[in-house]
Amino acid sequence: MCAHTSDLPLLNTWQRDFPLCLAPFDVLGHALGRPANAVIAHCRRLQDAGVLGRIGAVFAPGAGGAGLLAAMAVPHARLEAVAALVSSHPGVNHNYERENPLNLWFVATATDPAALEQVLCRIEQDTGLRVLRLPMVRPYRIDLGFDLCATTVAAGGATQAASTPVPAHEAGLAALAEQGLPLVERPYDAWAEHLGWSPATVLETLHRWLAQGILSRFGMVVRHHEVGYTANAMTVFDVADQQVDACGALLARQPGITLAYRRERSEYWPYNLYCMVHGQDRTEVLALIEQASQQAGIAHLRRETLFSLRRFTQRGPRRFAALQEAPHA
């Protein structure tokens, strides 16, 4: 199911700056001219349809846990079986087939690097295939939300810097925030009761995380396929190491670039600068990539564009879930 145009005022406006107050759906209802219970019911319908992934936190790089982008070259006859095995691991939150000999790309997260490596080694053991590990070196733009009214999605917000980690004693709230708010009139009260905190402490902590840059944003996390943006392309560039940061920062500012970051090179994969464009039309996405690379001064460099062919998994990361403590008095 795709989102209807009547959904856009709700989905577009509240991807960022979702109200951090005791009755947030009252605020949304006032803005939309609807009762709070009608807004909650609307969110439930969108969530059930897969359009709205969750309402919650998008943590900045460095906020906690460990994660990386991984790729595999899977024989075509085995692709669905291998993809299902990869997706079965709780730490795998994005898993796509892309146009490349390296045809299976996934993002894996865990509570720490050792746990993450265990996941990757288990996948290698179970499949008999090599997993290419591509850890992030530096983010330039990471998950700052989409403008759903554009033909190609234009990310909002500023260039993203790595954050400070979530303090250990606040990991329980982080686990809840990455899972998403319950769709009830006073959702932060439910979190507070679970943690044994006061609602005021929950809200103060979330406000502080935003101010410190621990969160990229707090709001509605929209699934781009379900709102019609099915032309999803990852472009990778081979940029000289001494120039990549300047080029990456410039690339991140170009219209239509939703993600941009530097990753480690590999013996089998020489690229170190990545960007993403999500659009409705393949031709338009390619034109936007060309324009952005020209503006960033990297159009002449070796590059590859990998469109997604199939989405096997798309869900929120669970970096903090294993650290979540039971409620305490």
Residue-wise pLDDT for 104-123, tens only, equals 999 999 888 999 999 999 99
Prediction pTM value:
0.84
Q: Enumerate residues 6+ apart whose C-beta is below 8 A from 189.
A: 22, 199
Q: Which amino acid is at 172?
A: G
Phi, psi of 54 (to 5 degrees): -175, 170
- Give the burial class of 234: count Cβ atoms within 10 A of its Cβ; 0-12 exposed, 13-18 middle, 19 or more buried: buried
Token duo for residue 54: 């969750």
SS3 306: strand
Q: What is the CATH number of the domain that holds 230?
A: 1.10.10.2890
Angle, vertex CA 16, rays to CA 199 and CA 65, nearest 5: 70
pLDDT band, very low/low/confident/very high, at 171 (cuts 50, 70, 90)? very high
With bands split at pLDDT 50, 70 and 90, how would you rate the model's confidence at 329? very low
Predicted confidence at residue 270, as pLDDT, reads 96
Confidence (pLDDT) at 328: 38
Residue 2 has pLDDT above 60, yes or no: no
Confidence of residue 1 (pLDDT cuts 50, 70, 90): very low
pLDDT for the residue 327: 40
- Averaged over 296-309, what is the pLDDT? 97
Backbone angles phi, psi at 136, to 5 degrees: -75, 140
One-letter identity of residue 26? D
DSSP, collapsed to helix, strand or coil, labels residue 92 as: strand
Which pLDDT score, from 0 to 100, does residue 323 have? Answer: 54
Enclosing domain of residue 183? 1-59+136-313
Residue 93 lies in a domain: no
**Number of helices and strands in the chain (H, E):** 10, 13
d(CA 86, CA 258): 25
Domain membership flag for residue 160: yes
Check pLDDT > 90 for residue 22: yes
Residue 242 domain-assigned (yes or no): yes
257-268 residue pLDDT tens: 989 999 999 988
- For residues 165 and 151, give the distance between their C-alpha atoms in angstroms, rounded to a whole number: 36
pLDDT digits (tens, 9 = 90+) for 177-214: 999 999 999 999 999 999 999 999 999 999 999 999 99
Distance, in Å, from the CA atom of 120 to the CA atom of 126, rounded to the nearest integer, reads 10
pLDDT cut 90: percent of the chain above it: 68
The total number of structural domains that make up the chain? 1
> Is residue 176 a part of any domain in this protein?
yes
Token digits of residue 171: 């990991």
Q: Is 64 left (phi over 0), alpha (psi -120 to 50) or beta?
A: left
Q: Which of 169-173, 265-269, 313-317 has the lowest mean pLDDT?
A: 313-317
The pLDDT-based confidence of 326 (bands split at 50, 70, 90) is very low
φ and ψ of 67, to 5 deg: -160, 155
Mean pLDDT (whole number) for 39-58: 93
pLDDT surpasses 50 at 14: yes
Q: What's the CA gap between 97 and 95, in Å, rounded?
A: 7
Confidence of residue 319 (pLDDT cuts 50, 70, 90): confident
Number of C-beta neighbours around residue 231 at 10 A? 21
Q: Is 152 contained in some domain?
A: yes
Average predicted confidence (pLDDT) for the chain:
88
Mean pLDDT of 123-148: 86
